[in-house]
Amino acid sequence: MTELVEHSFPPRPGYPNVFELTTIPNEIWIGDHCNGFLPDRTNAVFNYVSAMAKQPTTVHYCQVFDESVKSKYPNLNFKFRMFNPMWQAFENYTAKPDHEFKNFVCSFNGSPHASRKLLTAGLHKFGWFNPTYCSKNFIASRNEIDGEIQNHCPAELEPIYRKFILSDRPDADQFYNTSSGFGFVRQDHGSNVKGLQNKLTQSFVHVVSETVGHSYYPYVTEKFLYSVVTRGLFVAYAQPGWHKHLAQYYGFKPYTRLFNYTFDSIESPVVRLVELFSMLSKFSKLSEYDCHDLYLMEQDTINYNYNHYFTKGYLKVLHDQLQ
């Protein structure tokens, strides 16, 4: 039976602690994002566990793995265990604020993962980073951002895609080297959503800044739920296949009447970001009235996702998918 709850298990070691283990137990619970996956769907933490394990080992982890990962580690038996605090954090949110589209994009960016350096720079380049609605709780120099472009873009495409991320505007370097935020409290999502609800409901689309979005295997966190519970539209700058993964394993529906999700299958984080922005750009000049009409076109899906969360329908989908 697949376990979908967190209970009765020894404390999970974070991934830095895994490398301190000289003996791997026959059952281990590993936490956090483990710094993501390489293009071949391998990961340094699981490489270490697999190499050090003297017997078949059960690995409890907070994300669902498909065969592209499992096949790399035949001696590891991965078991999905839901991290309940993340998923339950919004259950007491009962507000139903109206939507008025004064702004185009909102996006909330915490720890300075490579993907967030790229995302915030790209938002600035496109003129979509409105500090009233977007946060950037870190600084990253032009050289750092350029380094991430080099690290995550095919060499032959790098000169082209750099143009869509790095800016030559006079205020660019000041933007890169300035942080801004909204008093976000880590893991206190019940309070945070109340503080962010106006930013979410006054924006046409929430660009979810997923954790380690430059990784190559989906990592689903609570971040998209900020839009689900405030009944808004979202797309995620996340790992390749993230939206498909969210629909298949959790049952949340994409907004296919409005958004083209072709970008979701693109492997390169840099190319995927620019193609995501390209898809969104056709909406960027619409009036508040036009945005409201388009929002209403997705009302059924918005309501479905809202109810799917609050009725815990995602638990049934997970159970069915993981048997």
Class of residue 92 by CB neighbours under 10 A (exposed 0-12, middle 13-18, buried 19+) = exposed
In this predicted structure, the answer to whether residue 124 has a pLDDT above a threshold of 70 is yes
- pLDDT interval class at 3 (50, 70, 90): very low
Distance CA 24, CA 78 (A): 14
In one letter, which amino acid is 85? P
In this predicted structure, the answer to whether residue 4 has a pLDDT above a threshold of 50 is no
- pLDDT interval class at 323 (50, 70, 90): confident
Other beta carbons less than 10 A from residue 226's beta carbon: 24
Closest CA to 223 of 202, 204, 249, 200: 200
**Residues 127-141 pLDDT 10s:** 999 999 999 999 999
**Residues 265-320 pLDDT 10s:** 999 999 999 999 999 999 999 999 999 999 999 999 999 999 999 999 999 999 99
- pLDDT interval class at 191 (50, 70, 90): confident
The DSSP line for 33-101 is -TT---TTS--HHHHHHHHH-SS-EEEEESS---HHHHTT-TTEEEEE---HHHHHTTTT---------
Number of H helices, E strands in the chain: 15, 6
In this predicted structure, the answer to whether residue 185 has a pLDDT above a threshold of 90 is no
For the chain, the straight-line distance linking the first and the last C-alpha, in angstroms and rounded, comes to: 7
In this predicted structure, the answer to whether residue 210 has a pLDDT above a threshold of 80 is yes
**Residues 17-48 pLDDT 10s:** 888 889 999 999 998 899 999 999 999 999 99
Task: Pick 211 or 186 by higher pLDDT.
Answer: 211
Task: Kindly state the DSSP code that residue 312 receives in the 8-state scheme.
Answer: T
**pLDDT value at residue 5:** 41
**b vs e for 13-23, b when ≥16 Cβ sit within 10 Å of the residue's Cβ?**
bebeebeeeee
In this predicted structure, the answer to whether residue 2 has a pLDDT above a threshold of 60 is no
Distance CA 62, CA 77 (A): 14
Look up tokens 């971040």; give the residue: 223
**pLDDT value at residue 67:** 97
**pLDDT value at residue 13:** 55
**pLDDT value at residue 270:** 98
Instruction: Pick the range with the lowest mean pLDDT from 30-44, 76-90, 192-206.
Output: 76-90
Look up tokens 């380049």; give the residue: 125
Angle between helices 114-125 and 142-152 (to 10 degrees): 110
- pLDDT interval class at 184 (50, 70, 90): confident
Distance CA 35, CA 274 (A): 23
Residue 52 near residue 75 (C-beta atoms within 8 A): no
**Residues 238-251 pLDDT 10s:** 999 999 999 999 99
Rounded percentage of the chain residues whose pLDDT exceeds 70: 95
pLDDT mean across residues, the chain: 93
